[in-house]
Structure 1
Amino acid sequence: MLFGFNLNTDALIGLREMPTADYSVLRQHYRDAADEALAFAAVDMKHRYDKKHRRLTFDVGDYAYLRLHHGYRIQGEDSRKYSNQRAGPFKIKKKVGKLAYKLHLPPGAGLKFHPVVSVAQLEPAPRGPDPYNRPATEQPEFIDVANGPRLTEYVEAILSKRRSNRKLQYLVK
C-alpha cells in the first residue's frame, strides 16, 4: 500500500496479464500483510516508548510542583510568558484514582482551581538536601488576593488617560 504517491503505471499491471489470477485472494493477501506490518509497528513503538518512560507516582506527604500550563493560573500574574512556569511545592494530601492526586493548597493564595490534579501536571519536588550544595531558590509567597489591598485604596484621582498601542493608560494621583 502506498499513500501520497501518484504512480504512472498501474501497480497490478503484471497481475492483470495473468488470466487465472483471483483478485479477491490477492487483495486479502495484501490486506493481511498490511495488518501484520501495522501490528509489528505498534509493538515496536510500544517497546521503544516503554524503554524510556517511567510511571510517575507520589506517596501521601510528598511534595510536588504544579505546572502552570493548560488552564492552571495564579491570580495576580498578568503575563504567563514572564511568570513562573510552575508553582509550589504543594503537599500531596491523598491519591484519588490511578492518575490523580489531591493537593494541599494554601487558603487565600489566589489559586482558583480544583485541588485534585492529574499526574501529568505534577513534577516531583526534590527530596533532601541538594547534592551539589546549590543555594535553595526561594519560592515567592502567595499574595492574599481576597483580603489584600485594593487598587482604589491607592488611587486618589485619575488625572488623564491616553491610548497607546491599543491599550488604555491612566495617569493617577
Structure 2
Amino acid sequence: MRASQSRQKSYHDKRRKDIEFQEGDHVFLRVTSTTGIGRALKSRKLTSRFIGPYQISERIGKVAYRIDLPPSLANLHDVFHVSQLRKYVADPSHVIG
C-alpha cells in the first residue's frame, strides 16, 4: 500500500508546478459552476472558460489571492485559490477596459 502511494505521489509531483502571482499582476479567472461564476453569468454553453483580465490587489496566504472584480460580479467573494487563476500575458493589441 505504501509503495503504491509513493508511486502515485511521484507521478503527481512530476506534473505539479507552483504558481505565484505578485500584487498588480493581471490574471484570468476560471469560470465554473463550483466557483459560483458560472451561475452568475447568463449563458453557460457559449461562455469562455476564463474571464478577465482582473488585477490582483492582495496576496492572502500561500495559495489565495484577492482580486479587484468589476461591479457586475459584486455578488462573488473576491478571494480565489491559485488553481482558479491563469496568468494574463500582455498583448499590445488587447485593450484592458
Pairwise same-fold verdict (TM > 0.5)? yes
Partner of 2:58: 94
State the shift of 1:55 in Å.
1.3
Higher relative contact order (CA 8 A, sep 6+): 2
Q: 1:51 aligns with which of 3, 10, 14?
A: 14
TM-score between the two structures when normalised by the length of structure 1: 0.48
**Greater than 2 Å deviation, 4+ residue runs:** 136-139
Per-residue CA deviations over 1:65-120 (Å, capped at 9, x if unaligned) read 00110221475x422111222111111111111211000113x2x10201111111
Per-residue CA deviations over 1:26-53 (Å, capped at 9, x if unaligned) read xxxxxxxxxxxx1111111111111111
Partner of 1:124: 87
Greater strand share, structure number: 2
The alignment status of 1:83 with 2:83, answered yes or no, reads no
Structure 1: 5+ residue stretches without partners: 1-37, 131-135, 142-173
- Please tell me the residue identity of whatever aligns with 1:57: E
Q: Percent identity among equivalent residues?
A: 29
- Measured on the aligned residues, the alpha-carbon RMSD in Å equals 2.3
Structure 2: 5+ residue stretches without partners: none
The residue matched to 1:56 in structure 2 has which SS? coil
TM-score between the two structures when normalised by the length of structure 2: 0.81
Larger radius of gyration: 1
Count of paired positions: 94
